[in-house]
Amino acid sequence: MYNIIKLDSGVCASEGFFADGISAGLKPNGANDMAFIYSEVPCEVASSFTTNKMTAAPIRHFRAKGEFKTNFVMINSKNANAMTGTKGIADIDEILSAVTSIHTQLLNPVMSSTGVIGVRIPKEKIINGAKLFDLSVKNPHGAAKAIMTTDSFSKEIAFKIELEDGRSFNMGAMAKGAGMINPAMATMLCFITTDATATKQEMQEILDKAIITTFNAASVDGDTSTNDTVILLSNGKSGAFHKEAFAEALHTTMLFLAKEMVRDGEGATKLVTYKVTGAKDDLEAQKVAKALSDSLLVKTALYGEDPNWGRIASTVGASGVEAYEETLSVYFDELCVYDKGELLFNDAMEEKAAKVMKQSSFTISCDLGVANGSFTAYGCDLGHEYVKINADYRS
Amino acid sequence: MYNIIKLDSGVCASEGFFADGISAGLKPNGANDMAFIYSEVPCEVASSFTTNKMTAAPIRHFRAKGEFKTNFVMINSKNANAMTGTKGIADIDEILSAVTSIHTQLLNPVMSSTGVIGVRIPKEKIINGAKLFDLSVKNPHGAAKAIMTTDSFSKEIAFKIELEDGRSFNMGAMAKGAGMINPAMATMLCFITTDATATKQEMQEILDKAIITTFNAASVDGDTSTNDTVILLSNGKSGAFHKEAFAEALHTTMLFLAKEMVRDGEGATKLVTYKVTGAKDDLEAQKVAKALSDSLLVKTALYGEDPNWGRIASTVGASGVEAYEETLSVYFDELCVYDKGELLFNDAMEEKAAKVMKQSSFTISCDLGVANGSFTAYGCDLGHEYVKINADYRS
């Protein structure tokens, strides 16, 4: 039907998209801190934002625009422009109007921010930074690096989607996210480009569906940010589109980035997949999976590589869903450590379970034995590095 | 109307109650690990237990007894007898029947356990331990110390309540709790004695009300245990009772122990009071207060003594309640750091806020400015010690 081929690229894999990162002096160490994505053709836009009520100014600003096409997204790190009220929104207007007078080809430019909450955005620095943008550059990796905050590596992916009839389209994406990551809509900044001829409505529908099992299934620390943003841009330059292929490529893109984000969670040393089955319904399964990925006691046990399955069982019980000691089973990868009321754990099994936990990535499965609801979530461990990073983030 | 006078004692402050702690060899270092409370007169019993669906065997055993009077509660640490199924319940029957044949004066003895989940309780050790109990000893401090697990200090309080007519009654209590502490009913083990002539119904009603604003308002790590237990015993020996005085003394007792429990949270260095006002209703205020006391980003900022009020605002926004950037105000003790959309923070204020945070105990207040709902919760910081303790609790 179609082939999805991985490319070694990012947001510029889609035809007609340009991107780069520059230093505007926001990061004290001189590292790049501003990025742009520019399309030579105006784009249809689909989006998904945080559920946090203290929505940051860039998101309020975006939403106030209503229906629009754009050819430009500008991203800054170090300052979230959150809790800055109407002044924060006016700051964006002022910045974008200045940037448009520098780069006159811009149409409805969009701004996206990440960083510290509750500090006015440094307009002059941002505008001076935008002067350094060269819109003819294709440097997706530079853009992906510039949007990092506490991330330890940049997160990019790209695909070429070949259709049966010989036509093809491309998709590229970049994301940042290391803390304040929680499954309550998106979780971080993610920008996805495509040259498919997808309409806003088609993209929004596919995006809304993909979010649930990707970014919303990922948790670093259970805290939902004020700035979470996913923006999907299509400029139609390929002349091709195929709904199923597009949906599959988008889901693969978002799942990859969601897992990368968790793997790079602040201080994380392990990426753990929580596979919950046998719940009353999918929603209850999601509740359990989220409770497991957020539990401090589970996260610290992971960090200590301690196969403390009792904390898993206790967290299932505390999550508030229908669950019974007598029907629950718990697995570490393929190893069953608790089977429907049967205590299986002994020294030999502990050794095997500890081996599973020593891996940098593994699966904890819980079969609730109630009905057929299922959900898979992604989480990480919590160690000393998380405390270190977060005990003094502002200074 | 009445006087509530603090006594320097614990569960033996109430007339006719005896208590002690002994070593049954459960703790590898030989420290005391079993305790009892014995009343020379049978007691009315009120109780409150965990909402965790994986309810531990001692709680299932207690509930199965229905209505009963008792004169004996036996507590062990190091093993929670949780996730042990019907075998765990049969173990309790076997233990209690052996203990009753050692101490023949026991009536409907109750067992309560705390410790590791998912391991059968060592019956022989427990029964041999019970042989060492001397029911004529009044050593409340010894009992309070024996029930500690990762606690760093024991938690006790006692009051004499003098009524207008010259009569008086007493109340004494002990508690343990350092991890797996979360406001979703009780949170730990707590045993309260009184010689008031309170009936089961009177006590249960007063206990249920007091729980909400005391133990349920306290959180160490957001994890709800399988074993949380509050047991309130009245033996009527004083011949006195006064409902309002009793309720006030019980609330004071439980609030003190709840705060002590948080202050002694695993690795905690600070006790923080979260006072939420102006919410849509009390339930929404509770939701916000709980979200604040559980947020990893808030807890690590507390540990770092970093006056990062943006994380407070973000957590309010993420809690899912009705809230607006334009009506929210945030205070560190009396210092207003964010006032209804007005960014007040500057270097001078940061210095003042940091000073507030250096205290071992302070208040963070959030006025949501929506309506009149209010709730006060208690939480602690999260530092390296928590990670250290929990990364390797079992071994």
pLDDT digits (tens, 9 = 90+) for A322-362: 999 999 999 999 999 999 988 888 889 989 999 999 999 99
* Per-residue tokens: B75: 């507590």
Q: Are residues A256 and A321 in the same domain?
A: no
Amino acid (one-letter) located at A336: C
Contacts of A53 in chain B (CB under 8 A): 316-318, 320-324
Give the CB-side neighbour count of residue B97, counting CA atoms within 13 A: 6
From the list A82, A118, A294, which residue is nearest B345 (CB)?
Answer: A118
Mean pLDDT of B304-313: 87
CATH code, A31:
3.60.70.12
Which residue among the candidates B70, B149, B150, B187 is catalytic per the annotation? B187
Tens of pLDDT, residue by residue over B80-133, are 898 899 999 999 999 999 999 999 999 999 999 988 888 899 999 999 999 999
Strand segments (E) across chain A:
2-7, 17-22, 34-49, 70-76, 110-113, 155-163, 168-176, 189-194, 229-234, 271-279, 329-332, 335-339, 342-343, 361-367, 373-380
Is A119 close to B295, i.e. CB distance below 8 A? no
Distance between B325 CA and the closest CA of chain A, angstroms:
6
Same domain membership, residue B152 and residue B67: yes
Interatomic CA distance for residues A80 and A56, integer angstroms: 7
**A235 contacts A16 by C-beta, under 8 angstroms:** yes
**Confidence at residue B117, expressed as pLDDT on a 0 to 100 scale:** 84
Question: Are both A258 and A275 inside the same structural domain?
Answer: no
3-state secondary structure of B337: strand
Report the residue of chain A nearest B329, measured CA to CA.
A83
Name the residue type at position B194: T
Cβ–Cβ under 8 Å, residues B141 and B41: no
Q: CB-CB: which of B297, B310, B325 is closest to A390?
A: B297
Q: Which residues in chain B are closer than 8 Å to A386, comparing Cβ atoms?
A: 296, 300, 387
Q: Which of A120, A383, A392 sits opposite B387 (nearest CB)?
A: A383
A117·B313 Cβ contact <8 A = yes
Q: Note whether A321 contacts B: Cβ–Cβ < 8 A.
A: yes
Task: Name the residue range of residue A303's domain.
Answer: 271-391
Inter-chain residue contact B391 with A301, CB threshold 8 Å: yes
* CA gap A146, B328 in Å, rounded: 33
Q: Please tell me whether residues B237 and B282 are part of one structural domain.
A: no
B357 in contact with chain A, both atoms CB, cutoff 8 A: no
Put simply, whether B239 touches A (Cβ < 8 Å) is no
Pairing of strands A110-113, A70-76: parallel
Q: What is the model's pLDDT at position A318?
A: 86
Q: Which of A184, A304, A315 sits opposite B318 (nearest CB)?
A: A184
What average pLDDT does the segment A71-80 reach?
93
Note whether A264 and A225 are within 8 A (CB). no
pLDDT at B178: 62
> Where does the pLDDT of residue B166 fall: very low under 50, low under 70, confident under 90, or very high at 90 and above?
very high
Judged by CB atoms closer than 8 Å, whether chains meet at A52 and B317 is answered as yes
| Whether residue B306 sits in one domain with residue B213 | no
Q: Is A224 within 8 Å of chain B by CB?
A: yes
**CB–CB of B341 and A85 under 8 A?**
yes
The last residue of a domain, from among B202, B232, B263: B263
Q: Which residue has the tokens 């203290």?
A: A54
Q: Note whether A314 contacts B390, CB cutoff 8 Å.
A: no
Calculate what percentage of chain B has a pLDDT beyond 90.
64
Mean pLDDT highest for which of A130-144, A202-216, B151-165?
A130-144
Residue B116, chain A, CB below 8 Å: the answer is yes
Residue A222 above 70 pLDDT? Answer: no
Q: Tell me whether residues B118 and A338 touch, CB distance under 8 A.
A: yes
Is any Cβ of chain B less than 8 angstroms from the Cβ of A311? yes
| Interchain proximity B309–A118, CB inside 8 Å | yes
Q: Which residue has the tokens 């208590």?
A: B19
The vertex-A117 CA angle with A112 and A121, nearest 5°, equals 55
Distance from CA of B52 to the nearest CA of A (A): 4
Instruction: Give B117→chain A minimum CA distance, Å.
Output: 5
**A116, A179, A294: residue with CB nearest B310:** A116
Q: Does A126 touch chain B (CB under 8 A)?
A: no
Nearest by Cα to A326 from A293, A284, A278, A286? A278
Residue from the list B87, B297, B323 with its beta carbon closest to the beta carbon of A53: B323
**A residues 275-304 closer than 8 Å to B (CB):** 294-297, 300-301, 303-304
**Looking at residue A381, what DSSP letter applies?**
-
Interface contact B226, partner A, CB < 8 A: yes
> Given this model, what pLDDT does residue B394 score?
46
Chain B contact present for A322, CB below 8 A: yes
Residues in chain B: 395
Which of A270-279, A313-322, B301-310 has maximum average pLDDT?
Answer: A270-279
* CA separation for the pair B70, B373 (Å, rounded): 40
Angstrom distances, CA of residue B57 to CA of A66, B129, B309 = 57, 20, 43
User: Residues B299, B363: one domain?
Assistant: yes
Higher pLDDT, A180 or B65: B65
CA separation for the pair A71, A17 (Å, rounded) = 9
Q: Which of residues 67-86 of A touch B (CB under 8 A)?
A: 80, 82-86
Per-residue pLDDT at B182: 45
Residue in A closest to B120 by C-alpha: A343
Whether residues A245 and A303 share a domain: the answer is no
Q: Which residues of A touch B318 (CB under 8 A)?
A: 51-54, 182, 184, 223-225
- CATH number, domain of B382, equals 3.10.20.340
Lowest mean pLDDT among A10-14, A233-237, A305-309, B18-22: A305-309
pLDDT band of residue A182 (cuts 50, 70, 90) is very low
The CB density around residue B119, as the number of other CB atoms within 10 Å, is 19
pLDDT at A205 (0 to 100):
94
The residue out of A263, A285, A310 marking a domain boundary is A263
Name residue A47's amino acid: S
Contact at CB, B303 and A391, closer than 8 angstroms? yes
Q: Closest Cα of chain A to B154: distance in Å? A: 22
Q: B208, B228, B263: which is the final residue of a domain?
A: B263
- Interface contact B391-A325, CB threshold 8 A: no
Average pLDDT in chain A: 89
**Residue A321 above 90 pLDDT?**
yes
Q: A391 at the B interface (CB within 8 A)?
A: yes
Strand partners, A221: none
Q: Are residues B279 and B207 in the same domain?
A: no
Do B42 and B183 share a domain, yes or no? yes
Buried b (16+ CB within 10 A) or exposed e, B48-79: bbbbbbbbbbbbbbbeeeeeeebbbbbbbbbb
Pick the catalytic residue: A187, A229, A273, A315?
Answer: A187
Task: Give the pLDDT band of residue A390 (cuts 50, 70, 90).
Answer: low
* Partners of residue B308 in chain A, C-beta under 8 Å: 117, 393-394
- Pick the residue with more confidence: A25 or B118? A25
Q: Check residue B186 and give its pLDDT.
A: 30
A36 & A184 share domain:
yes
Q: Determine whether the interchain pair A392/B306 forms a contact, defined as Cβ–Cβ distance below 8 Å.
A: yes
Exposed e or buried b per residue across A302-326, where buried means at least 16 C-beta atoms within 10 angstroms of its C-beta: bbbbbbbbbbbbbbbbbbebebebe
Mean pLDDT of B312-332: 92
Confidence of residue A304 (pLDDT cuts 50, 70, 90): confident
B331 bridge partner residues: B336, B365
* pLDDT for the residue numbered A263: 85
| Spatial separation of the C-alpha atoms in residues B27 and B244, rounded to whole Å | 41
* Contact state of A311 with B221 under an 8 Å Cβ cutoff: no
Cα(A326)–Cα(B39) distance, integer angstroms? 36
Pairing assessment for the beta strands B361-367 and B271-279 based on DSSP bridges: parallel
Enumerate residues 6+ apart whose C-beta is below 8 A from A384: A267, B384, B387, B388
Q: Element (H or E) spanning A243, and its range?
A: helix A243-263
Q: Find chain B residues with C-beta within 8 A of A224's C-beta.
A: 314, 317-318
Is residue A296's pLDDT more than 60? yes
Q: In the predicted model, what is the mean pLDDT of chain B? A: 89
What is the average pLDDT across A361-376? 96
- Range 6-45 of B in CB contact (< 8 A) with A: none
Give pLDDT, residue A187: 39
Cβ atoms of A39 and A71 within 8 Å: the answer is yes
Is A369 an interface residue toward B (CB < 8 Å)?
no
Q: Among A234-243, A291-300, A363-372, B171-180, where is mean pLDDT lowest?
A: B171-180
Interior angle at CA A116, CA A115 and CA A121, nearest 5:
85
The answer to whether B234 touches B196, Cβ cutoff 8 Å, is yes
Q: What is the pLDDT of residue B183?
A: 32
- Note the pLDDT tens digit of each residue in B355-383: 999 999 999 999 999 999 999 999 988 87
In the predicted structure, residue B153 carries a pLDDT above the cut 90: no
Residue A223: CB partners within 8 Å, gap ≥ 6? A179, A180, A181, A182, B295, B296, B297, B311, B314, B315, B318
3-state secondary structure B228-276: CEEEEEECCCCCCCCHHHHHHHHHHHHHHHHHHHHHCCCCCCCEEEEEE
pLDDT higher at A150 or A35: A35
- Residue A391: pLDDT band (50, 70, 90) is low
Chain A residues with CB-CB distance to B182 below 8 A: 318
Question: Which residue of A269, A325, A332, A357 to mutate against B (max B Cβ within 10 Å)?
Answer: A325
Whether A117 and B345 lie within 8 Å, measured CB to CB: no
Note if B252 is an active site residue: no
How many domains does chain B divide into? Answer: 2
Say yes or no: A11 and A121 in one domain.
Answer: yes
**Residue A140 belongs to what H/E stretch?**
helix A140-146
How much of chain B exceeds pLDDT 70, in percent? 95
Where does residue A63 rank: exposed (0-12), middle (13-18), buried (19+ CB within 10 A)? exposed
Chain B contacts of A328, Cβ < 8 Å?
54
pTM equals: 0.82
pLDDT of residue A183: 32
pLDDT reading at B157 higher than 90: yes
A318 contacts on B by Cβ (under 8 Å): 51-54, 182, 184, 223-225
Structure tokens at A54: 């203290």
- Interface A–B counts its CB contacts (< 8 A) at 227
In this structure, are B334 and B200 located in the same domain?
A: no
Work out the minimum CA distance from B380 to partner chain A, whole angstroms.
Answer: 13
| pLDDT score at B392 | 57
The pLDDT of residue A198 is above 90: yes
Q: CA separation (Å) from B201 to A34, B185, B195, B318? A: 66, 19, 16, 40
Nearest to residue B390, comparing CAs of A97, A302, A346? A302
Any chain B CB within 8 A of the CB of A225? yes
For residue B205, pLDDT beyond 80:
yes
- Measured at the CA of B180, the angle between CA B174 and CA B184, to 5 degrees, comes to 85
As a whole number of Å, the CA-based R_g of chain B is 22
Residue B386 has pLDDT above 80, yes or no: no
- Dihedral angle over CA of B45, B46, B51, B54, nearest 10: 0
Which runs of consecutive H residues, i.e. helices, occur in chain B? 57-64, 85-102, 123-131, 140-146, 200-213, 243-263, 282-294, 296-303, 309-318, 347-358, 384-391
| A316 touching chain B per CB within 8 A | yes
> A260 is written with which tokens?
């990368």
The residue ranking higher by pLDDT, B320 or B109, is: B109
Cα-atom radius of gyration of chain A, to the nearest Å? 22
- Which token pair is B338? 């964010």
Stretch among A221-230, A384-393, B7-16 having the lowest mean pLDDT = A384-393
Q: Which residues contact A160 (CB under 8 A, 6 or more apart)?
A: A4, A5, A7, A13, A168, A169, A170
pLDDT digit string, tens, across residues A251-284: 999 999 988 888 887 778 899 999 999 999 999 9
pLDDT at A177 over 80: no
